[in-house]
Structure 1
Amino acid sequence: MSKLLIRPEKGKQGRVIQVTPQSAGWTYVGFDLYRLQPGDTVSAETGEREVCLVFVTGRGTIHAAGTDLGSLGERMSPFEGKPWAVYAPQSLDWSVTAETDLELAVCSAPGLGSGLAARVINPGDIGQETRGKGTNMRHVTNILPEGQPADSLLVVEVITPGGHTSSYPPHKHDQDNLPAESYLEEIYYHRLNPPQGFAFQRVYTDDRSLDEAMAVEDGDVVLVPKGYHPCAACHGYDLYYLNVMAGPKRTWKFHNAAEHEWLMKA
């Protein structure tokens, strides 16, 4: 199996995925995924990092810095509507108690001491857009985009209909070369509908020193340390993914693969 592909342990509850900068061999992005049953609680301190808690599915009550932020979450599938989320800056404790079966993503990156406050990101705050045309059309939900306050994190959801491609034409963001391109590490957390399906993702560089093609299944995580990273959803199975990005500068400037640039005008 590719070293870039991480699979959860089937049937496990609690934390089923953990990616740290140390385990990924990079600097910025961290990602934990929790699967909780009603009454289960998860808690942590942000320390020197900021986090974005995304209620992928289910509902739970959340406390941050001793403040009750209420009962959040409403969708029971990531393919139905917008998520609820919470932004929590560094040096803050938080806890979530599940009210229903709950899938909670904890996205993290370095905090920069900017003094931001914890806040709830409700579905009404979240913008959506459709990108691409034809079989390259996909639906994007901007949970924590560049225009919203954070120190390092960028968080977005994408739904790619069955038979379509996304993160395509292939693009990369692995050079700290602004304004042309920004350096951003990235994680893809994948879900399939129906869940028995599979999709494909390729991660590769121009010189092919990195070139991995992976069949991704429901619940898999793919690491993108560098290079291009297109996805393809198979016929009959819609593909959801949660993207987490961070780097030295909080901006998304990407470079398209030159040989496929013509697709932007086709």
Structure 2
Amino acid sequence: MTTLKVPASPGALITDIPLGTGGLRYVGFSAHRLAENETLALASGDDELCVVILAGKASAQAGGAGGDMQWAAVGERASVFEEKSPHAFYLPAHSTLALTGLEAAEIAVARAPGGPRALPTRLIDPASMKRSVRGSGSNTRYVCDILPETEPANSLLVVEVITPPGNSSSYPPHKHDSNAIPRESQLEETYYHRLNPPQGFAFQRVYTDERDLDETLCVEDHDVVKVPRGYHPVVVPHGYTSYYLNVMAGPVRAWHFHNDPRHEWMLRKG
């Protein structure tokens, strides 16, 4: 049985991968269903958090060394498949955030080591997030940088990706598991998968050059795939659209990836 795929739970806590467990040293992740008038209370402890309102709307109250802050209504999209960027929060170490649903909402919580920089709690506005298109043809996908390395944080990198039906993504296969900057950086990663329609599925392979890790996973709506190391492409069947939220962190906050040389030829084709 695989240890890389974490199936979704039907309850309020969709998935929970605590930092430092499940083969991951730098990345923690959880996803939550928040009912109207229900409150989700979060505390960063020694870590930093990026909290993403994937869908729905909530009020928010934050506390910590920087003082108390509150927002009356945060969140604008009804689904992760809308062509809109999400609202998100950055929380440094020793901070709190309470989200209360103004309607049903879906919340993702990314966690990584807090690091040395003393950064303030902040709301990350959708207008600040870069949206782009990667690839071409059946390798086209649509990217939103929620917390890229150009924005302040100690460890976390957070991005979301939409892949159309029949397309591949995170492709050609690439990896980032060696500390060899600028050629490659060491970053663990999680994929939080959503499918539209929700009865759909997608395939993700996680493998190394040596094949000491080589798993091909069928993922369904709300499943999480852990990528402690290795290449990790995704393929989406005809008829279904894929969404995934990526969380990355490692000893150095930099994203430098290495393509599988056996498949890199397609980037040079034409």
Range into which the TM-score falls when normalised by the shorter chain: over 0.9
Q: Deviations over 1:182-226 (max 9, x none)?
A: 000000000001111100000000111000001100100000000
User: 1:90–1:113: 8 Å Cα contact kept in structure 2?
Assistant: no
Does 2:27 match 1:24?
A: no
Does 2:123 match 1:120?
A: yes
Give the % identical residues. 49
CA distance in 1, matches of 2:228, 2:266: 25
How does the TM-score come out when normalised to structure 1?
Answer: 0.97
Matches within 5 A, 1:130-141: 130-141=133-144
2:21 is paired with a residue of what secondary structure? helix
Does 2:183 match 1:185?
A: no
Question: Cα offset for 1:113?
Answer: 3.2
Question: Cα offset for 1:21?
Answer: 3.0
CA distance in 2, matches of 1:191, 1:73: 18
Q: Which amino acid aligns with 1:38?
A: E
Question: Cα offset for 1:44?
Answer: 2.2
Aligned length: 264
CA distance in 2, matches of 1:196, 1:25: 29
CA distance in 2, matches of 1:145, 1:8: 27
Question: Cα offset for 1:153?
Answer: 0.3
Does 2:78 match 1:76?
A: yes
Per the alignment, residue 226 of structure 2 pairs with 223
CA distance in 1, matches of 2:52, 2:102: 15
Mind listing any 5+ residue stretches in structure 1 that lack a counterpart? none
Matches within 5 A, 1:1-266: 1-10=1-10, 12-13=11-12, 15-65=13-63, 66-80=68-82, 81-266=84-269
User: 1:204–1:227: 8 Å Cα contact kept in structure 2?
Assistant: yes
Q: Which amino acid aligns with 1:4?
A: L
CA distance in 1, matches of 2:56, 2:2: 31
Moved more, 108-117 or 123-132: 108-117
CA distance in 1, matches of 2:75, 2:162: 19
1:21 is paired with a residue of what secondary structure? coil
Mind listing any 5+ residue stretches in structure 2 that lack a counterpart? none
User: 1:69–1:120: 8 Å Cα contact kept in structure 2?
Assistant: no
Q: Which amino acid aligns with 1:71?
A: A
CA distance in 1, matches of 2:115, 2:19: 17
Runs of 4 or more off by more than 6 Å in structure 1?
none
Q: Which amino acid aligns with 1:5?
A: K
2:127 is paired with a residue of what secondary structure? helix
How does the TM-score come out when normalised to structure 2?
Answer: 0.96
Question: Cα offset for 1:69?
Answer: 2.7
